């Protein structure tokens, strides 16, 4: 039996002809929010330069955007539960597009805090998008390839991130821009997103239905059921939060760190960040391919261990070797979000939409950059890496527990 299953494993396909068009459409959304989240990492440094604010002050960019995720995740899940994945995506795209276009009046107002309001609206839109798309992708094919399928779609998230840091980074750090140059990329993005919203409003996407189990029809709320009856989901929720703290904090801090160490200027740093995100994208594509052959929890365990070792190298303050360790970390962390997300949803059936909305509260971990900024402003540029170190360590514990449980189940069978 074991030999037979190992032979069948490589033949599993990401999706089927039935779901190919929905899979392509939904995957296109991953590029959009990858771009929207990565642009924050160069916008952060751009505002520091042009408005002469500290790292701590500029971290409000991440705090405000990801606060939108935290506050709107449950309402997004509620809306999608009562409507559909497609309508959730349309609402998300509309909020995203409107928030981006709000940069135009924000520039006229002329204050840093006005831009934060627009970013909050964008954050609210992104959480609708991600709450719709992440679980939907896991449904568009066989259960065996759900994690691999989500990693593949998330690879285009990496492509969007790479595009944002290179193109927008070079625009911001060209030496001929002002604080309000941010209007240009956000206006283009806003128009594009609203056009895509129109496409999705007219597209026919199959809605996946699950048969409700008896335990899901009782008086308990769905969220209460998740916390009471699904301990590995709860562990996955905290592991995903820990990952988001680590990943978003490093992305936001990267340019500050390498320029503060005197290794390069802002423009060069945005190029190096683009290279790091290229590693991230490659990591997702390779991870998606490997997870058709290697159990997802084993891949997560290996990658989490790699990220922990990279953070140790950074904390040892080894000069430019530390920068190389951060870049290598992008390769290791690439599969973490979609893998943790997919593993946390396993076996939840009709609770998936509610579980997804809880998981999409985790980008509030981006506020971890505020703590990194405070530490950096009051100590040095290396000590803040303790925060992502502990984040990856929690992911390592989650992967270890999942691997242990699955090994135990295999031995029993």
Contact 249, 387 (CB under 8 A): yes
Domain count of the chain? Answer: 1
d(CA 137, CA 146): 8
Assess if residue 89 is contained within a domain.
Answer: yes
d(CA 163, CA 150): 20
At 45, the pLDDT band (50, 70, 90 cuts) reads: confident
If residue 23 lies in a helix (H) or strand (E), which one and from where to where? helix 20-51
C-alpha 287, offset from chain centre: 16
pLDDT at site 85: 79
CA pseudo-torsion sign 115, 38, 148, 307: negative
* Helix, strand and coil percent figures for the chain, each rounded to 5: 85, 0, 15
How is residue 367 annotated by DSSP?
A: G
Assess if residue 98 is contained within a domain.
Answer: yes
Global model pTM greater than 0.85 = no
* Angstrom distances, CA of residue 183 to CA of 19, 189, 252, 300, 393: 37, 10, 20, 39, 39
Beta strands, E only, 92-143: none
Average pLDDT, the chain: 84
Assess if residue 5 is contained within a domain.
Answer: no
Over range 284-299, report the average pLDDT: 86
pLDDT at site 373: 85
d(CA 206, CA 342): 20
At 340, the pLDDT band (50, 70, 90 cuts) reads: very high
pLDDT at site 393: 97
Q: In the block, which residue shows the tokens 């991230």?
A: 280
How is residue 201 annotated by DSSP?
A: H
Contact 85, 205 (CB under 8 A): yes
Assess if residue 183 is contained within a domain.
Answer: yes
Report residue 50 as tokens. 């042009």
Assess if residue 7 is contained within a domain.
Answer: no
Kindly give, in sequence order, each residue whose CB lies less than 8 Å from that of residue 3, ignoring residues fewer than 6 positions away.
none
How is residue 168 annotated by DSSP?
A: I
Selection from 281, 16, 288, 24 nearest residue 164 by Cα: 281
Assess if residue 190 is contained within a domain.
Answer: yes
pLDDT at 60 over 60: yes
pLDDT at site 179: 65
How is residue 347 annotated by DSSP?
A: T
pLDDT at site 7: 41
The domain containing residue 367 runs over which residues? 16-205+219-412
C-alpha 176, offset from chain centre: 31
Report residue 243 as tokens. 């990952």
Contact 50, 35 (CB under 8 A): no
pLDDT in tens, 147-206: 778 878 877 887 888 888 888 888 888 776 666 788 889 999 999 999 989 988 887 777
pLDDT at 384 over 90: yes
Least confident of 47-51, 239-243, 265-269, 295-299: 47-51
d(CA 74, CA 357): 5
C-alpha 319, offset from chain centre: 29
pLDDT in tens, 246-278: 998 998 889 889 999 989 988 898 899 889 988
C-alpha 305, offset from chain centre: 20
d(CA 122, CA 174): 26
d(CA 35, CA 37): 6
DSSP 57-70: HHTHHHHHHHHHHH
Contact 252, 41 (CB under 8 A): yes
Assess if residue 11 is contained within a domain.
Answer: no
Contact 25, 203 (CB under 8 A): yes
How is residue 164 annotated by DSSP?
A: I
The CATH code of the domain that includes 69 is 1.20.1250.20
Assess if residue 6 is contained within a domain.
Answer: no
DSSP 237-280: HHHHHHHHHHHHHHHHHHHHHHHHTTS--HHHHHHHHHHHHHHH
Contact 239, 395 (CB under 8 A): yes
Percent of the chain's residues with pLDDT above 90: 30
């Amino acid at each position: 039996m074991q030999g037979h299953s190992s032979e069948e494993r490589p033949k599993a396909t990401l999706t089927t002809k039935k779901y190919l068009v929905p899979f392509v459409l939904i995957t296109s959304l991953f590029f959009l929010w990858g771009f929207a989240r990565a642009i924050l990492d160069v916008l952060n440094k751009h505002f520091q330069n042009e408005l002469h604010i500290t790292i701590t002050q500029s971290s409000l960019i991440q705090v405000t955007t990801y606060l939108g995720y935290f506050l709107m995740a449950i309402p997004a899940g509620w809306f999608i539960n009562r409507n559909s994945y497609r309508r959730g995506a349309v609402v998300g795209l509309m909020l995203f597009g409107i928030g981006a276009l709000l940069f135009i009046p924000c520039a006229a107002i002329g204050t840093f805090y006005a831009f934060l309001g627009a970013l909050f609206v964008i954050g609210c839109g992104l959480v609708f998008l991600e709450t719709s798309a992440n679980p939907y992708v896991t449904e568009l094919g066989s259960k065996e390839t759900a994690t691999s399928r989500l990693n593949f779609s998330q690879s285009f998230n990496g492509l969007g991130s790479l595009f944002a840091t290179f193109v927008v980074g070079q625009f911001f750090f060209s030496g001929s821009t002002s604080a309000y140059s941010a209007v240009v990329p956000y206006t283009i993005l806003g128009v594009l997103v609203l056009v895509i919203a129109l496409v999705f409003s007219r597209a026919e996407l199959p809605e996946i239905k699950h048969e409700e189990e008896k335990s899901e029809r009782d008086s308990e709320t769905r969220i209460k059921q998740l916390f009471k009856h699904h301990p590995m989901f709860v562990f996955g929720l905290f592991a995903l939060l820990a990952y988001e703290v680590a990943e978003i904090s490093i992305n936001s801090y990267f340019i500050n760190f390498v320029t503060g160490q005197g290794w390069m200027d802002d423009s060069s740093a945005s190029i190096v960040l683009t290279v790091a995100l290229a590693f991230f994208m490659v990591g997702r594509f390779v991870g998606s391919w490997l997870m058709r052959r290697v159990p997802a929890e084993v891949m997560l365990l290996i990658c989490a261990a790699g990220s922990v070792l990279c953070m140790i190298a950074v904390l040892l303050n080894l000069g430019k070797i530390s920068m190389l360790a951060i870049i290598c970390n992008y390769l290791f962390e690439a599969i973490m979000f979609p893998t943790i997300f997919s593993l946390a949803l396993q076996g939840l059936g009709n609770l998936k939409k509610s579980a997804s909305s809880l998981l999409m509260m985790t980008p509030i971990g981006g506020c971890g950059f505020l703590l990194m900024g405070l530490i950096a402003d009051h100590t040095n540029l290396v000590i803040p890496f303790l925060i992502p170190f502990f984040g990856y360590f929690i992911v390592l514990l989650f992967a270890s527990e999942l691997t242990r449980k699955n090994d135990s189940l295999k031995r029993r069978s």
